[in-house]
Amino acid sequence: MIRGKKVILRTVIPEEVDYLYRLITDINKKGPYWHLQIPPLNKFRDEYRESGFWSREEGRMLILSLEGEHVGEILYFKGLDYQSGYEVGYELFDLAFSGKGYMTEALRLFCAYMFAVWPINRLQVNVMSDNIASSRVAEKCGFTYEGTMRQATFHNGVYHDLKLYSILRDECPPLNSLLAE
């Protein structure tokens, strides 16, 4: 468990798998930018049984408020074989949690943790070009805008441009400096 000043990050426990499935597949509560694909429940459960949603190739942590509310999730996954590091994705489970600084702290903690535990030098985030809030989160966490990939993702029936942001190991604060006392 990683405790910050506003959020707690931790891996998923077995009793939460079905609840988490409901949270990530409730497209009525998702914001306009999170992908709408719904995985089959049995496949979701199998993935948890196989890896606990945490492996060298990909993983996820829950973002909890200090009061224990399930605020969102943060994910990492390996991109192309020739790229170093990981791509990071994040989402709030309900728009009621937006604008409170939860995601900024979660991303900052998560990146510091990833650099502390994996011998990687780079993390990247792809943001739909009109997702201003997510771009701000990345920028507040020290990510650098590298460019726009034109019509790189298909979402809700339309192709969208993706803005690419990255952060390097030496640009990220050390994990111990971000932990709550």
Q: In CATH, what number is assigned to the domain containing residue 95?
A: 3.40.630.30
pLDDT of residue 138: 97
**Which residue range(s) make up the domain with 29?**
2-177
In sequence order, the β-bridge partners of residue 75 are 60, 89
pLDDT category, 116, cuts 50, 70, 90? very high
Least confident of 32-36, 131-135, 150-154: 32-36
pLDDT of residue 95: 85
Q: In the structure encoding, which two tokens stand for residue 40, read together?
A: 């089959």
Residue 121's pLDDT band (boundaries 50, 70, 90)?
very high
Task: Please provide the DSSP assignment of 41-98 as one string.
Answer: HHHHHHHHHHHTTB-SSEEEEEEEETT--EEEEEEEE---TTS-SEEEEEEESSGGGT
> Is the predicted pLDDT of residue 11 greater than 80, yes or no?
yes
Contact present, 128 and 160 (Cβ < 8 Å):
yes
Helices and strands in the chain: count of H runs, count of E runs: 4, 8
pLDDT tens track for 63-79: 999 999 999 999 999 97
47: pLDDT confidence band, cut at 50, 70 and 90?
A: very high
**Exposure string for 36-70, b = 16+ CB within 10 A, e = fewer:** eeeeeeeebeebbeeeebeeeeebbbbbbeeeeeb
- 6's enclosing H/E stretch is none
Question: Domain tally for the chain?
Answer: 1
Calculate what percentage of the chain has a pLDDT beyond 90: 79
What's the confidence (pLDDT) of residue 4? 96
pLDDT of 32 strictly over 80: no
Identify the band that residue 104 occupies on the pLDDT scale cut at 50, 70 and 90.
very high
Instruction: Judge contact between 1 and 9, C-beta under 8 A.
Output: yes
pLDDT(21) > 80: yes
Q: What is the dihedral of CA 165, 171, 174, 175, to 10 degrees?
A: 0
